[in-house]
Amino acid sequence: MEISGPYLTINLKNLEHNLNLLRSKLKKTTEVIPVIKADGYGSNAIVITKKLISLGIKRFAVASTKEGVELRNAGIKNPIMIFYPYIKNFKLLFENKLEPVLYSNTLINAAIKYLSDLKITNYPVHIKFNTGLNRIGLSINEFDLSNLTPKSKCFKILSIYSHLSASENPRPCKYTSSQISEFEKIKKITSEIVKPEIGFHILNTSGIFNYPEKQYDAIRSGIGLYGYANCKSWDSELKPVLTLKAPIIQILKIKKGESVGYNNAWASKRNTAIAILPLGHADGITRSFGNKKIKVDINGFKCPIIGNICMDIIMIDVTNSKCKEGDFVTIFGESNSASFISEQAGTVSYELLTGLSQRILRKIIE
């Protein structure tokens, strides 16, 4: 019998479904900016980007300059926003025609200096305002509005945006309302000086479901394209793009009272059959997934992970299921929601997906 290792499938049909679903909630004129940072939320940024281009997407967003350069090196010529550029990487950023998000005066001043030294004018940039997430962004009070005027020849302003802190919280949400009214104020003040080429935007995935009337001119969606939206009923409209499977490489039988795994973290209360899977915390399945918090899907049976997750191995109690060595177990995917198991483990789907290591083979389903 030939047993191969764990693998992650990337289902591009489901990606297309999710894009269409998101588009169905938006006006035709609203630009969809897919967020493909962290290697496309743990999938494969290049594969995802190429598929989305074939579906009519024009512009993408990633976190770092390095991620943008990787897409350029793969031959992707579309506009790419860089959410968090480092001044140190400006040469790389500008030479690769990446679009920086300017979120602080330090960054704005450094960009002006860099561009004017090289006599570059009209370089496409985005401006990010903080409206209450208090993570990153300019406040309108500290922002020098002359950066938006034609007098500042360095920049062509493509968009002005902000980010919500609790877009998935049930409406009405006071905090979100105050962020949106702050953004309205910013829009009013800046619109008097500049008409950004793309326009204004504030929504991420959950925001599209919760505040479609605040879509302005564009949305930035990451997790939704991969099949999750931070709410069970919204998730049900989407389809998971990623499925993680691993083979059973051994089945052990242990007696009542014996323990399993490091530090004897789990002891059997009855004679138990244990299936061994060849993946662990080095693959991105963190320790919080161990010790019966999470169940995986084995031939339709939900079986708990027992003991501590090891670096390369996970143990499953399969006493009540039908399985044999070589069978593939679904850790998460359509039959076991990544969002649900993450919640059970005290985390979020974002962390589970983006933590999947490169050691796991990726398989594309066209």
Ligand X SMILES: *Cc1c(COP(=O)(O)O)cnc(C)c1O
**Residue closest to ligand X, measured at CB:** 222
What stretch of H or E contains 10? Answer: strand 7-11
Considering the complex, state which of residue 222 and residue 227 has its C-beta at the smaller distance from ligand X.
Answer: 222
Asked whether 231 and 216 are in contact (CB, 8 A), the reply is no
Least distance between ligand X and beta carbon 161 (Å)? 8
Residues 36, 182: Cα–Cα separation, whole Å: 28
Asked whether 218 and 199 are in contact (CB, 8 A), the reply is yes
In this structure, what token pair is assigned to residue 234? 């919204």
Active site annotation includes 228: no
Only one of the segments 170-178, 209-217, 218-226, 311-319 lies at the binding site for ligand X (rule: CB under 6 A); that segment is 218-226
| Backbone dihedral region for residue 324 (phi beyond 0: left; psi -120 to 50: alpha; all else: beta) | beta
Q: For residue 221, state whether it binds ligand X (rule: CB under 6 A).
A: yes
Q: How many CB atoms lie within 10 A of CB 200?
A: 21
Of 6, 34, 222, 307, the one binding ligand X by CB under 6 A: 222
Of 163, 187, 245, 281, the one binding ligand X by CB under 6 A: 163
Only one of the segments 11-19, 221-229, 283-291, 355-363 lies at the binding site for ligand X (rule: CB under 6 A); that segment is 221-229
Q: Which of 91, 113, 262, 324 is catalytic?
A: 262
- DSSP tag of 21: H
Asked whether 116 and 154 are in contact (CB, 8 A), the reply is yes
Q: For residue 83, state whether it binds ligand X (rule: CB under 6 A).
A: yes
Active site annotation includes 37: yes
The β-bridge relationship of strands 272-277 and 314-317 is antiparallel
In this structure, what token pair is assigned to residue 18? 């999710």
Q: For residue 205, state whether it binds ligand X (rule: CB under 6 A).
A: yes
Q: For residue 223, state whether it binds ligand X (rule: CB under 6 A).
A: yes
Residue given tokens 């209450």 in the structure block: 132
Q: Is 30 helix (H, G, I), strand (E, B) or coil?
A: coil
Of 10, 12, 15, 35, the one binding ligand X by CB under 6 A: 35
Only one of the segments 5-13, 68-76, 150-158, 216-224 lies at the binding site for ligand X (rule: CB under 6 A); that segment is 216-224
Q: For residue 126, state whether it binds ligand X (rule: CB under 6 A).
A: no
**Residue numbers of the site for ligand X (CB under 6 A)?**
35, 37, 83, 163, 204-205, 220-224
